[in-house]
Structure 1
Amino acid sequence: MIDVAVIGTGIMGAAVARELSKYELNILILDKDNDVSCGTTKANSAIVHAGYDAKEGSLMAKYNVAGNAMYEELCKEVDAPFRKVGSYVLAFSEKEREHLELLYKRGLSNGVPELEIIEAEEIQKREPHVSKEAVAALYAGTAGITGPWELAIKLVENAMENGAELKLNAEVVNIEKVGEYFKLTLKNGEIIETKTVINAAGVYADILNNMISKKTFKITPRIGEYYLLDKVQGYLTDSVIFQCPTEMGKGILVAKTAHGNIIAGPTASDVEDREDVGNTQEGFDTIKQFAVKSIKDINFRDNIRNFSGLRAEADTGDFILGEAEDVKGFFNMAGTKSPGLSSAPAMAIDLAEMVVKSLGNISKKENFIKNKKHIYFIELSPEEKAEVIKKDPRYGRIICRCENITEGEIVDVIHRKAGGRTLNGIKRRCRPGAGRCQGGFCGPRVQEILARELNLKLDDIVLEEKGSYILTGETK
């Protein structure tokens, strides 16, 4: 019997699992995929929003502002990327300026600091590549950018350092309440018994909730498509550039990522298929049309990757957080579309406290283990590099030339808690294949390192999910 089963390893499940691992609890983290953070968390804008957009009094407003304030310290603690860069919402007409005023007042009501409305001349001073057609902008100084999948992986890793267990390829197909505990049935027939359940299953959260609770809700997947541009376009902005939002979301943004690329997107279309992450020409055309309105000089020929992600749009209109009214011990962390990423740290603290209170008589650990620091070889001084190579010569061998990633870094992320087992899993953890050639040169070498370190055959190494084979056998 375990104390807590956390279903889902996106940013929500990862954050609450790590928070719960600060307590004397037996925690099992489950995910239906072949790795951590393979859903919405691996395909979003990576923006830590300031908090002016969410409606006053909503859970979105409350947790966005609180979560934003926690991000810098949290990312330092778990060794994940974060930069506080500020954001601008552009107005291209006097009518849109009125919307900036609305967002400004809402932000003040929500408790967002560092907000101001600036005029066209000031926009050009701060962001010279932004369109001169912008007449005003709402500036939010507390907005930031992070690496969402890196943060989720580090949070799961830290939870495991503190005793949590992780089970992948573990899709929950049924939930039953048996007396004072729950019986979870996995797709492979395995039964797991647990005192409490946390449903952090993203676009599948309604399916799990509705298995056990009569207080049902519905999640509609909303697809968003993106362009990811090479770092040579990084001069265009160092901030997050929005346009006035619509009822479908915050609109097409242009931003510099935590690693120096330019991202443009997302689109917003509701879909039925919860695995639909395909791209469309219509989506690409929409992104281009709106992105160049913000920054005319974007060169989309420097595109290195297109991708899509799904957002969990709940019919409640707000985040769903807490214990199901009619099922004691079953907790939801659902409907966490944007600003879900921004809100996750604060939501995790509150939900962990609810779970601990429900279980009763749970004490905090005296010696919580912090994350082992990752060596970012390219960021070291020449003297530090020499010292690292002296200890481990594998740090002297560059595998990914685009991102300057060494063999030592790849081996490290294979053998850490929640270590990478797939080509994309290694890419998410330390970025080989994330550069201009997208793994064209380093991919086969990373595959060889994975096979060697895991004592597997080369054709056992997959790209992502089970069955996504790369090699089928020898040709000669």
Structure 2
Amino acid sequence: MYDICIIGAGTVGMNIARELSKYKLNICVLEKESDVSCGCSKGNSGIVHGGYSDKPGTLKAELCIKGNRMYEQLERELHFGYRQTGSFVLAFDDEEIPILKKLYDYGIANGVKGLKIMDAAETKQHEPHLSEAVKASLYCKNAGVASPYEFVIALAENAIANSVTLLLEHEVESIKKTADGFVIGTNKENIETRFLVNAAGLYSDAIAAMAGINDYKITPHRGQYVILDKEQSHLVNSVIFQVPTKLGKGILVTTTYHGNLMIGPNAEEIDDKDDVGTDEKTLQYITDTARKSVPDIDMRKSLKSFAGNRPKSNQPDWIIDGNRVPGMINLVGIDSPGLTSSPAIALKVIDILINNGLELAKKTDFAAERKPIIIKKTNDFKGVIDSPDPNLNIICRCEQVTEAEIIDCLHRGIPVKSVDAVGRRTRASYGRCQSNFCGPRIRRLLARELNLPIEEIPAKGKESSELAQRAKRISLMKM
């Protein structure tokens, strides 16, 4: 029997698992997909929010601030890709300036440091490529960007190194309360556990219903994005927002941690939790709206589009509850700023577990550090294609990924079975060619290392290719 079972290997679930791995506990994580970070945690903006957007007194406001302050230490330990960039919220007319003041007041009440309302001239000093229509802005020093899927992968690898059991392709089908805890029925086996944590994201309402809680409801809100070439990264230094609407924080313009320009997302309520398709009409809307902030975005430099669904609940604030079913903690509706808040959510869950009777004893041998997979290349790096030296053999020329880096990513405790999975860990196939050059080379390397026929190694999925083509079509619109 496990002490704790966590359902969901996204950013919330893996932060909880990693934090709990500091203690003498028997922990498992159940994930229905074949890899970690395949849901909400993969398809999001990667923004580490400053903490001024949410109403003071809410869980979102409290945990966003606490989580934001944990990222620098987590980056030092896990090397997943985070940098503080600052952010601007732009006002384009006099009617929007009071919204900046409201956000400023929220931020002060929430304890945010480094906030300042700037006029147009000062804003343009920081961000010279912004539109001349900008009237004023709210600047937040503490905002930043992270690589969200690399964050989850790093958390998972470190948790596994500290004795957490990760069970992939284990879809939960039933939950039975027992005198000792729970029996969780999956498609592969039954799991017994004393405590149960529901961090299932879009499916957190369905997991809660299996335990007899039927009043939680998740409605997916889809957001579509476009990723552009690194050539466009000079256009912004910070995360650029427009004033929020009732639908959310609106269309942003930012560079990703690895230097690509990214625009999006919109927010659309949909019925299908698994529908992460994009459409040209929405991509055009995102393009036009992003150009309101940064007019010189060149959509001919687009690489791909993608979408992610956010788990919007029927409650105004997040649900983090350990009272409905003894021994079970439900985390429901953890939408934005969930990525930012996830380290602090983990600490809150541990407090609830303690209040529910979990006794904790710290390990003396907890290993906090996880070495990076991606090796930053210096000017004297002499990598070449087809070098006999794995440390110099370039597999992905766009992102300068070596054979040694890919081999490394295969041996860190999580099965890596596809080109996509390699890309999330190394960025191989994420450059300009979008796997046209490196995809076959990655497949051959995976087949060799995993001792499998090459036809059993999937390349990039059909859906990904279609999204890339849609992005290319949109790039030819309104240039």
Aligned to 1:453: 449
Q: Which residue type is aligned with residue 65 of structure 1? A: I
Tell me the equivalent position of 2:328: 330
Residues 215, 326 of structure 1: 8 Å contact kept: no
CA contact (8 A) 1:228 1:261 kept: yes
Are 1:28 and 2:14 counterparts?
A: no
Greater Cα offset, 332-341 or 348-357: 348-357
Alpha-carbon distance in 2 for matches of 1:15, 1:211? 24
Give 1:461 shift: 1.1
> Which ranges in structure 1 are unaligned for 5 or more consecutive residues?
469-476
2:471: which partner in 1? none
Q: What corresponds to 2:397 in structure 1?
A: 401
CA distance in 2, matches of 1:286, 1:37: 28
Report the counterpart of residue 354 of structure 1 in structure 2. 352
Provide the residue aligned with 2:192 in structure 1. Answer: 193
1:418 Cα deviation from its structure 2 partner: 1.7
Does structure 1 residue 74 correspond to structure 2 residue 74?
yes
For 2:15, the equivalent position in structure 1 comes to 15
What amino acid does structure 2 have at the position aligned with 1:374?
P
Q: Are residues 386 and 289 of structure 1, via their aligned partners in 2, closer, same or farther at CA, if it must alter by over 3 Å?
A: closer
Q: In structure 1, how many angstroms separate the alpha carbons of the residues matched to 2:379 and 2:321?
A: 47
Counterparts in 2 of 1:69-108, with a 5 A limit? 69-108=69-108
Quick check: 1:52–1:107 contact (8 Å CA) kept in 2? yes
For the residues of structure 1 that align with 2:105 and 2:165, how far apart are their CA atoms?
A: 45
Deviation at 1:421, TM superposition (A): 2.1
Say which SS state the counterpart of residue 70 (structure 2) adopts. Answer: helix
Q: In the TM superposition, what is the alpha-carbon distance from 1:349 to its structure 2 partner?
A: 1.3
User: Which residue in the other structure is 1:296 paired with?
Assistant: 295
Range with bigger deviation, 363-372 or 197-206: 363-372
1:42 corresponds in structure 2 to 42
Q: Do the aligned residues in 2 keep the contact of 1:66 with 1:343 (CA within 8 Å)?
A: yes
Distance 2:156 2:298 in 1: 37
Residue by residue, what CA displacement relative to the aligned partner does 1:258-294 show, whole Å, maximum 9, x if unpaired?
Answer: 0000000001101110100000112111101210000
CA RMSD of aligned residues (A): 1.9
Matches of 2:376 and 2:213, distance apart in 1: 53
Distance across 1 between alignment mates of 2:460 and 2:260 = 23
Report whether the alignment pairs 1:410 with 2:409: no
Q: Percent identity?
A: 42
Corresponding residue number in structure 2 for 1:259: 258
For residue 334 of structure 1, report the CA deviation from its aligned partner.
2.2
Mapping of 1:364-383 within 5 angstroms?
364-374=362-372, 376-380=374-378, 382=380
Amino acid at match of 2:14: A
Q: 2:203 is matched with which residue?
A: 204
CA distance in 1, matches of 2:359, 2:27: 16
AA of the residue aligned to 1:333: L
- Please state how far the C-alpha of 1:181 moved relative to its aligned partner: 1.4
- Separation of aligned partners in 1, 2:220 and 2:284: 21
Look up the SS of the partner of 1:194 in the other structure. Answer: strand
- Name the SS for the 1:42 alignment partner: coil
Residues 416-459 of structure 1, C-alpha deviations (whole Å, 9 max, x = no match): 12242221111000100011111110011111111111111111
Amino acid at match of 1:110: N
Contact 1:413/1:419 (<8 A) preserved: no
1:368-398 CA distances to partner (integer Å, 9 max, x unpaired)? 013341253343464xx689xxxx9311101
CA distance in 2, matches of 1:322, 1:351: 9
Output the CA distance in 2 between the equivalents of 1:396 and 1:266.
Answer: 38
Q: Distance in 1 between matches of 2:58 and 2:120?
A: 32
Question: Between Structure 1 and Structure 2, how many residues are aligned?
Answer: 460
Report how far residue 203 of structure 1 moved. Answer: 0.5
Contact 1:34 1:464 in 2 (8 A): no
Q: Which amino acid aligns with 2:338?
A: G
Q: How does 1:417-428 map to 2 (within 5 A)?
A: 417-428=413-424
Alignment pair present for 1:117 and 2:117: yes
Q: Distance in 1 between matches of 2:382 and 2:400?
A: 16
| TM-score relative to the length of structure 1 | 0.94
Of 416-425 and 196-205, more deviation after overlay is shown by: 416-425
- The verdict on how the C-alpha distance between 1:351 and 1:214 changes in structure 2, with shifts beyond 3 A counting, is same
Greater shift, 167-176 or 454-463, is seen at: 454-463
Residue 279 (1) aligns with residue 278 (2): yes
How far has the Cα of 1:250 moved from its partner?
A: 0.3
3-state secondary structure, aligned to 1:209: helix
> Matched residues in 2 for 1:409 and 1:50: separation?
33
Distance in 2 of aligned mates of 1:460 and 1:133? 54
Q: State the distance in 2 between where 1:362 and 1:459 align.
A: 47
Report the residue type matching 2:404 in the other structure.
Answer: G
- Per the alignment, residue 440 of structure 1 pairs with 436
SS in 1 for 2:197: strand
SS at match of 2:102: helix
Shift of residue 96, structure 1, vs aligned partner: 0.1
Aligned to 1:273, what secondary structure does the other structure show? coil
User: What are the Cα deviations for residues 318-352 of structure 1, in whole angstroms up to 9, with x where unaligned?
Assistant: 111131x2311111122111000010011111212
How far apart in 1 are the matches of 2:170 and 2:210? 17
Q: Which residue in 1 is equivalent to 2:427?
A: 431
Give the corresponding residue for 2:477: none
User: Which residue of 2 is the match for residue 474 of structure 1?
Assistant: none
User: Structure 1 residue 354: deviation in Å?
Assistant: 2.2
Report the equivalent of 1:162: 162
Counterpart-to-counterpart distance in 1, 2:321 and 2:21: 18
Partner of 1:471: none
How far apart in 2 are the matches of 1:338 and 1:193? Answer: 32
What is the distance in 2 between the residues matched to 1:377 and 1:187? 38
Task: Specify whether residues 372 and 343 from structure 1 end up closer, same or farther in structure 2 by C-alpha distance, changes over 3 A only.
Answer: closer
Whether 2:180 is the aligned partner of 1:180: answer yes
2:228 is the alignment partner of 1:229: yes
In structure 1, distance between residues paired with 2:357 and 2:393: 50
Residue in structure 1 matched with residue 467 of structure 2 by the alignment: none
Q: Residue 316 of structure 1 aligns with which residue? A: 315
Relative to structure 1, is the Cα distance of residues 357 and 462 closer, same or farther in structure 2, using a 3 angstrom cutoff?
farther
1:244 — aligned with what?
Answer: 243
Is 1:340 paired with 2:334?
A: no
Output the CA distance in 2 between the equivalents of 1:418 and 1:142.
33
TM-score of the two chains, using structure 2 as the length reference: 0.93
CA distance in 2, matches of 1:355, 1:393: 49
- Does the 8 Å contact 1:157/1:371 carry over to 2? no
